[in-house]
Structure 1
Amino acid sequence: MCGIAGMVSTSLSDPDLVRRMCEVIEHRGPDGKGFHFDEHAALGMRRLAIVDVATGDQPVYNEDEQIVAVFNGEIYNFADLRQDLAEQGHRLRGTGDSECLVHLYEQYGTDMVHHLRGMFAFAVWDREHGRLLLARDRVGKKPLYWRSEEDSIWFASELKSLERDNRLRRDVDPVALHHYLTYQYVPAPWSIYKGVHKLPPGHLLIWERGKVTVRRYWELDGTPRQVTNEAEEEERLRELLLEATRIRMVSERPIGAFLSGGIDSSTVVAAMAMQSPQPVKTFCVGFEESRYDERHKARIVADLYGTDHHEFVVTSRLLDVLPRIAWHFDEPFADSSAIPSFYVAQLSRQHVTVVLNGDGGDEGFGGYQRYILMGKARWIPGMPRAVGATFARIGDLVAERSDAGSLSRRLGRLMQFAGERPTQRYARLMSSFTPKWKSEIYSDELGGLLAETDSYQLFEEAYERSRALTDLGRILDVDVATYLPGDLLVKVDITSMANSLEARSPFLDHRLMEWAAALPIGLKVRNGHTKLLLKRAVRPWLPREILDYPKQGFGVPLASWLRGELRELAFDVLTDATARGRGLFRPAVVRNLLQRHIGGADHSMRIWTLLQLELWYRAHAAPQDHMMTGCPVLST
């Protein structure tokens, strides 16, 4: 596990720049650093030593040193790969996983990615052919940014590394900003800066003598298979979970687990405990507000399996941590659960270097309550698109003019929901700012720039690519393509690596995901129940209190925070001259939003989205970008 950075050019490389790019991500790898410099390439890395601690330094080379690689992540099948490569005549010097990359490239070229089982972002430089290969793991556990100009390309694990280059113009991309306000994150392939891109999950990039080609190499196949014996499927799922967990427990450094008390993290802890000779170290974060506190559930599992359990309570120190979080998140990011994620990572790092978590269980097995709502929506009769759009607009007007909780408001929301296509319904459920809200809050200039841009198109494209046979099955595929890599995995990667902690996710093993994707949707969500097959499979492992407890999620008391300890911060940051001077939003609408929230309406998600954007500006944007007029903040 580490952070990587580099640049390749048909002209001269820039070693000093790459050294600076690596210095700024030392938190990703405090145990060491390594560099490769030649006439056309400069590659660097920071190392967090987990496997092959003694001999696993990078960069790694093939036998004649014409192929070199830097690597971020873990390859869980590296022992089998090493044996196969040795049988094919390759000479490996160390004992770990990173060295496999250069020999796999020698053997298979770009098809090497199909042989990897793990989480990764890597760069392979082929000196002889002047070719750079960048690749990112199938699901998007590890990040990779890149930009190219003329005859050169730059890449890094974090955007702040690319910011070390004074040639980078920090022009905020208005389309990326538009998507952020919808999703609360900037989705790949965009980044917040124009000209800088994220390599999407399951994609590779080939740069050869100045030419860039990006292509997909993996996508989850949701085509359902026939299931004739559900008991056999339950047994197979237990086998897959145990194996996916076992291979993620390989570490030369101390290892533990996040334990929220939910089904997914509890399942992982159970699978670890059954395969560990020592008590598993578990870590939980909670809140003083009982509505958001699940520590009692985590203790049930900890007591059942005799774990070495540790807890942390999030209190009123938010003003201290928010600037630090804004610095680590190189782009605007408004999932408020990043706060407890940061704290539980900080707690864990005091005891271990590696943690396992339950990420991916909801997307793989149908765990979100919104899936129940989308499943019920299939009974709503279809409407012609024009009629449905009118029906939805009327419902929107009725809801907006009705009191919160009133029958007319609920009726309006139902009309709105009924008039929309499945992807629009789901996009609205997932949106921070809907198109209507954007039209109200955008300044005339920003609104004009984005008048023809539809953020919901990302959902539409993922929905159309899905091979699932039902609307709900396709919605699960949409989450795997959007919400999972864009929000959840970014949150865990940034908050864990900010604390020099490696996070591993058994539910995101691609073999387990492919098996789960082919399950009939009725084994995931049915009759108002979620995770049907998963709950049955792990019933021998977990008590009824965990399996039958309503899903709570990793939420925070955001609404009360923004009426209490964060109220002054929100008003000051969002209404001062600096924020107004950007020319992005109508000041009167922003102030009204704040006042309505204080008055009792819940606008916490929208306020938080605006607040995180402004905090990002102050942590990252270049000084000249603080004003919109006459400056390149929103160039097109």
Structure 2
Amino acid sequence: MSGLCGWFNLPSKDGGDADATLARQRLARMAAPLTRFDGSDVQAIAGADAGAAIAARPDSAHLYREDGLLIAVWGQPTIAGTAEGIGERLAALWPEQGALSCAALSGAFALCILDSRQGIALLAVDRYGTRPMLIQPTPKGVLFASSADAMLAHPAADATLDHQAIFNYLYFHMVPAPGTMYRQQQRLLPGEYVRYGRGGMERGRYWEMRYLEQESAPWSRLRPQFLELMDNAVRETLAGHQVGAFLSGGTDSSTVVAMLSRAGTPARTYSIGFDVDGYDEMDYANVAVHAFGTRHRALYVTAEDVCAAVPHLSAVFDQPFGNASAVPAYYCARMARADGITRMLGGDGGDELFGGNARYAHQAVLSRYERCPAALRQLVLEPALFGLLADSQHALPRKARSYVRQALVPLPARLETYNLLQGYGPGQVLEAAFLATVDSTAPARVLDLADWPSRHLSQINRLLALDMRFTLADNDLPKVNKACELAGLEAAFPFLNDGLVAFAARLRPEDKLRGTRLRHFFRAALRDTLPRAILNKKKHGFGLPVGHWLHTHAGLRNLAGDSLSDLKRRGIVRPAFIDALLDTHLAAHPPYHGTMVWVLMMLEQWLQLRAEARRSHEEVRDELQIRQG
């Protein structure tokens, strides 16, 4: 694991903490968790009022110091096309541009600028949230870290769990930013900065996605421009690394592999399969392997592999994480690491830029109902479906009622029509005492806040913007990053190249979704690059047959049963619901109810591991308090 951590204290009249040895020890404690998986070297600077440490490969660690100014950047960003002298360049921009200095950076990064001369700290992450940053105010200043474990290694960190975050996890299967699992900690959003000083803490954005919906260019110019940008985006990930690529056989991963195969030696690719009907995508991956002549390795993941991976995945995530496809991502990354690969390329971001998720087409169909005349809807269709035909179980009226019910729910709430927690009912799932401590309407507001800046856009771009901020930054990128981290290598995402993102933002809405056809421009532009079988396949990815294995495999079922038995004692989930879930619901519909079993199991696994971490944090805090007298 690599990352960035440190603190900033407002200068005090007595000169701050004069114990330089203690400051260095605290910084070393914070940095230690960042080296856990890859043994990265640590560079650190600790002073009276500020300290920062980076654990990373030399080309991903940028540390600069001059009198009263400390700059640390984790990642491989560029300024004006070069990665040389990142710290010095930021130091030159800082006096004039302040927080907007971050806008000069391209690529993946997390940074801190600690200016003791002005009593100001600036913390920021890259435009797409590829690199995380957590922050926590303290009585003296602010703590920051790219990992919760690093944050909790400081004695001033607050390790109190947040009930609202647990509820949000059960709703979304992850904890959306800016929330974290800890009450006093927050996470930066993509393209966001935090400026801390005597006036308090100010959050702002130095960059945001701008969709230029009215621009258009001829196909003869767009297609070669896109192919060149895609090719350059992949090539820019190669420098200094042994590179491999995830290959699911979908359009995004296959596009990355197609471009990688042009870069010289045969591309190294990695796939995961499942010996379960409806889940195995290995045939499509093999189509790409043969088309591009890659050096390929594949692994069929079993239920035993899942059991072995669960404790490790629980340990690497800062929050409980309910996306089971982290398991195959981890096994892919582990294969690559064994081959000497140091960086894995993922196709994440393609869906959110070019319109690849099936729900975009589904929402387009639902939105057609809004265009029906109000009189027809309110005086004819709805009275008929929910009045005269309310009890009819014939297929046509039943499907029509379902369609209208969904269409009547406004976006973005409509995206959660099939939400598991809503489907069961929070009161059926959660203990009344726990439910009384949380706001059950908070997830809807999280979605509204994420959706608000793009409500003036076309529906497809509105959905893409929401997914860039929410699905990609809070779910997909952490999944791949943490799976790679656990395997001891790093991930890179060519689709999130600034030039390619800007290109996608200029495409017309109908180039992304034409009727119900997804990726209209993307598929057409790659017609001569990707095999037809891949261009025409339905989206799948590295989905895991969790429900099937929970129903059929004793080992995984026992792991889940033991975890949920322990969860019963925490006062969060009702024991009666857990019993019904395991004894009745799972057998009735394994794919549907298996997802909730997995989500609850990963919550309990995470809570067990973090209980040990919190005890360690309390011991460190007590020890340092004793030493301070």
- When normalised by structure 2's length, the TM-score is 0.87
Residue deviations 1:239-273 (CA, integer Å, cap 9, x gap)? 221222222222x2312222221111111111122
Map of 1:524 onto structure 2: 512
1:206 deviation in Å? 1.4
Map of 2:469 onto structure 1: 481
1:335 deviation in Å? 0.6
1:603 deviation in Å? 0.9
Give the 5 Å matches for 1:233-244. Answer: 233-244=222-233
Map of 1:111 onto structure 2: 100
CA contact (8 A) 2:71 2:111 kept: yes
Out of 123, 129, 136, the position equivalent to 2:112 is: 123
TM-aligned CA distance change 1:155 to 1:582, over 3 Å: same
2:518 match: secondary structure: coil
TM-aligned CA distance change 1:98 to 1:544, over 3 Å: farther
TM-aligned CA distance change 1:98 to 1:336, over 3 Å: farther
Out of 597, 611, 616, the position equivalent to 1:607 is: 597
Map of 2:70 onto structure 1: 68
TM-aligned CA distance change 1:282 to 1:105, over 3 Å: farther
CA contact (8 A) 1:179 1:185 kept: yes
Map of 2:63 onto structure 1: 59
TM-aligned CA distance change 1:595 to 1:166, over 3 Å: farther
Residue deviations 1:534-574 (CA, integer Å, cap 9, x gap)? 11111121111111122223211011122133222222211
1:128 deviation in Å? 2.2
Aligned residues between the structures: 592
Map of 1:563 onto structure 2: 551
1:30 deviation in Å? 2.0
CA contact (8 A) 1:28 1:48 kept: no
Residue deviations 1:31-75 (CA, integer Å, cap 9, x gap)? 3111101111121121234x3xxxx765333xx454322222111
CA distance in 1, matches of 2:282, 2:235: 26
CA distance in 2, matches of 1:230, 1:293: 36
Q: Which deviates the most, 97-106 or 216-225?
A: 97-106
Residue deviations 1:348-380 (CA, integer Å, cap 9, x gap)? 112211122211000111101111100111111
CA contact (8 A) 1:7 1:153 kept: yes
Residue deviations 1:297-321 (CA, integer Å, cap 9, x gap)? 2222222222221222211222221
TM-aligned CA distance change 1:214 to 1:585, over 3 Å: same
Q: Structure 2: which amino acid aligns with 1:256?
A: G
TM-aligned CA distance change 1:241 to 1:623, over 3 Å: closer
CA distance in 2, matches of 1:623, 1:505: 31
Matched, 1:379 2:383: no
Residue deviations 1:467-509 (CA, integer Å, cap 9, x gap)? 6532232112111111110100111111112222121111111
Out of 436, 439, 442, the position equivalent to 1:454 is: 442
- Alignment RMSD: 2.9
Out of 1, 12, 15, the position equivalent to 2:24 is: 15
1:296 deviation in Å? 2.2
Q: Structure 2: which amino acid aligns with 1:336?
A: A
Q: Structure 2: which amino acid aligns with 1:24?
A: P
1:205 match: secondary structure: strand
1:227 deviation in Å? 2.2
- Relative to its length, the structure with more helix (as a share) is 2
Q: Which deviates the most, 578-587 or 131-140?
A: 578-587
Q: Structure 1: which amino acid aligns with 2:299?
A: F
Q: Which runs of 5+ in 1 are unaligned?
A: 83-91, 626-636
Map of 1:5 onto structure 2: 5
CA contact (8 A) 2:450 2:466 kept: yes
Out of 520, 526, 530, the position equivalent to 1:542 is: 530
1:103 deviation in Å? 4.2
CA distance in 2, matches of 1:76, 1:300: 36
CA distance in 1, matches of 2:285, 2:369: 39
CA contact (8 A) 2:234 2:260 kept: yes
TM-aligned CA distance change 1:29 to 1:420, over 3 Å: same
CA distance in 2, matches of 1:458, 1:267: 33
CA distance in 2, matches of 1:598, 1:303: 40
Q: Structure 1: which amino acid aligns with 2:294?
A: T
Matched, 1:195 2:191: no
Give the 5 Å matches for 1:623-634. Answer: none
1:452 deviation in Å? 5.7
2:442 match: secondary structure: coil
1:68 match: secondary structure: strand
2:8 match: secondary structure: strand
Map of 1:48 onto structure 2: 57
Q: Structure 2: which amino acid aligns with 1:417?
A: Q
CA distance in 1, matches of 2:38, 2:181: 25
Residue deviations 1:327-360 (CA, integer Å, cap 9, x gap)? 1012011011111111111111122111222110
Matched, 1:297 2:287: no
Map of 2:33 onto structure 1: 24
CA contact (8 A) 2:143 2:157 kept: no
Map of 1:88 onto structure 2: none
Q: Structure 2: which amino acid aligns with 1:46?
A: A
Residue deviations 1:175-232 (CA, integer Å, cap 9, x gap)? 2222211211101110011001101111011122472221111211234123252332
Q: Which deviates the most, 283-292 or 500-509?
A: 283-292
1:148 deviation in Å? 0.9
CA distance in 2, matches of 1:15, 1:256: 37
Q: Structure 2: which amino acid aligns with 1:572?
A: D
Map of 1:629 onto structure 2: none
Residue deviations 1:426-470 (CA, integer Å, cap 9, x gap)? 1224x3422762132121112222356331222222322106532
Identity, in percent, stands at 28
1:45 match: secondary structure: strand
1:598 deviation in Å? 3.2
Give the 5 Å matches for 1:169-188. Answer: 169-188=158-177
CA distance in 2, matches of 1:432, 1:164: 35
Q: Structure 2: which amino acid aligns with 1:67?
A: L
Q: Which runs of 5+ in 2 are unaligned?
A: 11-15, 616-629
1:143 deviation in Å? 0.7
1:131 deviation in Å? 2.1
Q: Structure 1: which amino acid aligns with 2:27?
A: V
